Amino acid sequence: MPATLMQLEILLPFKVFARKSGVARIVAETADGSFGLLPHRLDCVAALVPGILACTSEAEDEYWVAIDEGVLVKAGTHVSVSVRRALAGTDVGRLRQAIEQEFLVRDEQEQSVRQVMARLEAGFLRRYARLSA
């Protein structure tokens, strides 16, 4: 593989979601908007928001992944994307719907679970304080 192409690795918390070599261009979304990476761009780190990660191979093949929030690190020609969740697909419209339905709904559910856990912890601490007094 020529040195002018990148290797992309998408990492989930407990596994490698995808590895792509021969990547000529990557487009990712941050809180400040979309930005592109080319092989000769300076090394960088970026905080990603839920959105579509697009990469294009040297042969102009495109690959799209719906990603949750995470971090992108470019070091030389190696690009690592670490995210909480990811979904691959060929239809960008469906991937956008998946982001809205899957990732944002899960975030609401996780927030509800955190609230319940906080109430349980507070109740436990109150009872413990009574026993200690």
Q: What is the pLDDT of residue 57?
A: 86
CATH number at residue 83: 2.60.15.10
- The predicted model scores a pTM of 0.71
Q: Which of 51, 56, 88, 55 is nearest to 70 (CA)?
A: 51
CB 1 within 8 A of CB 11: no
Q: Is the pLDDT of residue 1 over 60?
A: no
Provide CB contacts within 8 A for 37, sequence distance 6+: 6, 25, 26, 27, 28, 44, 74, 79
Three-state secondary structure call for residue 118? helix
What's the pLDDT at 60?
78
User: For residue 106, what pLDDT is reported?
Assistant: 63
Decide which of 77 and 126 is more confident: 77
pLDDT of residue 41 exceeding 60: yes
In this predicted structure, what is the pLDDT of residue 95? 76
Q: Domain of 114? A: 6-132
As a whole number of angstroms, the distance between CA 104 and CA 87 comes to 14
Count how many Cα atoms sit within 13 Å of the Cα of residue 111 in the half-sphere of its side chain.
Answer: 6
Give me the number of domains the chain comprises.
1
Tell me the pLDDT tens digit for each residue of 72-112.
999 999 999 999 888 887 777 777 777 776 766 666 667 77
Which has more pLDDT, 61 or 109? Answer: 61
Within 10 Å of residue 125's Cβ, how many Cβ atoms? 10
* Residue 1 maps to a domain: no
Using alpha carbons only, how large is the chain's radius of gyration in Å? Answer: 20
In a domain, 17, yes or no: yes
- 46 and 75 in contact (C-beta within 8 Å)? no
Residue 98 lies in a domain: yes
